[in-house]
Structure 1
Amino acid sequence: MPQCERNIYKTARQAKGLTQESAAEKLGISETSLRAYESGDRVPPVEVVDLMVIAYDSQLLGIQHLRASAEMARSILPEVQALPLSEAVLQLLNRVYAFADNHRDRQLMAIAADGCIDEDEQPLFLQIVEHDLQEIIEAAMAVRYASGRHA
């Protein structure tokens, strides 16, 4: 796991406004263990991350942990940036408008109209799904987990 990703635990704790001492108590672990997780010396077990997600009120931490710890998760879960709500919303709208402005919506409808993807349609379909829609999904998830968002 790259060093920057190991700090996700510390970032989530600090965003919740908890000290290491209070967080360790809430999690039922030692401060030494928490320091090891936050310094990147050890990766917390899934059970501890589950508790962190709850204690820190951070589903984003769960996604970041999965992406950082499992190759399979990196191929399934999009990378989600922790952004202020206003910035996340603007990014999402920009990507949706670009999708429409570039007529990707119409191209996707044309590809799907007959219920199958022909060999000549395959490259465009993959480009739309793997690039355009992926960007929209990432931006939508950034809105979902944006800082400053209230449930």
Structure 2
Amino acid sequence: MPEETRNIYKTCRKAAGLTQEAAAERLGISVESLRAYETGQRVPPDEVVEAMSDLYNTLHLIVRHVREKNAMYGRVVPEVPQAGVLEASARLTNRIYQFADSHADRRLMRIAEDNVIDGNERPEFDDIMEDLQEIVAAALALRCAQQADCRSSM
């Protein structure tokens, strides 16, 4: 497992420029608990991860935490790449234009108009859903990037 994945809590804390002691105090938890989360000995509760996300100024921490904690999450929400605002904006805009240029929206409406996805329509429907997942991932990446950029400029 890559270092960043194992220590996402530590990586985000360090990126925020906080020591374990300072972070634990501001999070209202013990240094021992924070150390256990950062070494993978324990999984932090969701409310602690939410506080970490606010303190460390990164929504991406929540996305990674939930994805690793719950395998079903990955079936619904795509992998969210980390990117800066400019890169994430460009990726989202490009994915939307590609979707529109391919007329996937119109094809989706044709498939859905009878409220049934038959065997002949299923492959095309699945392809359209993959395209939409890419748009969702790009939008989430932009949201994560925007939050970090906005707070760091305050």
Query: Does TM, scored on the shorter chain, surpass 0.5?
Result: yes
Q: Which runs of 5+ in 2 are unaligned?
A: none
> Could you tell me which residue of structure 2 aligns to residue 57 of structure 1?
57
Give distance in 1, aligned partners of 2:58 and 2:15.
Answer: 9
Match of 1:80 in 2: 80
Cα offsets for 1:73-131 (capped at 9, x unmatched): 222222112211001001111111111222222211221233332331111101211x1
Q: What is the rounded CA distance, in whole Å, between the counterparts of 2:91 and 2:19 in structure 1? A: 32
Distance, in Å, in 1 between the alignment partners of 2:88 and 2:54 is 23
The answer on 1:111 being equivalent to 2:111 is yes
The 8 Å contact of residues 7 and 38 in structure 1, kept in 2 or not, is answered as yes
Question: What's the TM-score once normalised by structure 1's chain length?
Answer: 0.84
Q: Could you say which residue in structure 2 is the equivalent of 1:142?
A: 141
| 1: CA distance, partners of 2:58 / 2:45 | 17
Asked whether the 8 Å contact 2:85–2:142 carries over to 1, the reply is: yes
Corresponding letter in the other structure for 1:65: H
Amino acid in the other structure paired with 1:102 = S
In the alignment, the residues of structure 2 paired with residue 116 and residue 15 of structure 1 have an alpha-carbon distance, to the nearest angstrom, of 49
Question: Over aligned residues, Cα RMSD in angstroms?
Answer: 2.3
- Map 1:1-151 → 2, pairs under 5 A: 3-129=3-129, 131-146=130-145, 147-149=148-150
For the 8 Å contact 1:85–1:149, the answer to whether it is kept is no
**Rounded Cα–Cα distance in structure 1 between residues aligned with 2:4 and 2:55:** 22
- How many Å separate the matches in 2 of 1:45 and 1:135? 29
Structure 1 residues not aligned, in runs of 5+: none
Range moving further from structure 2, 36-45 or 119-128:
36-45
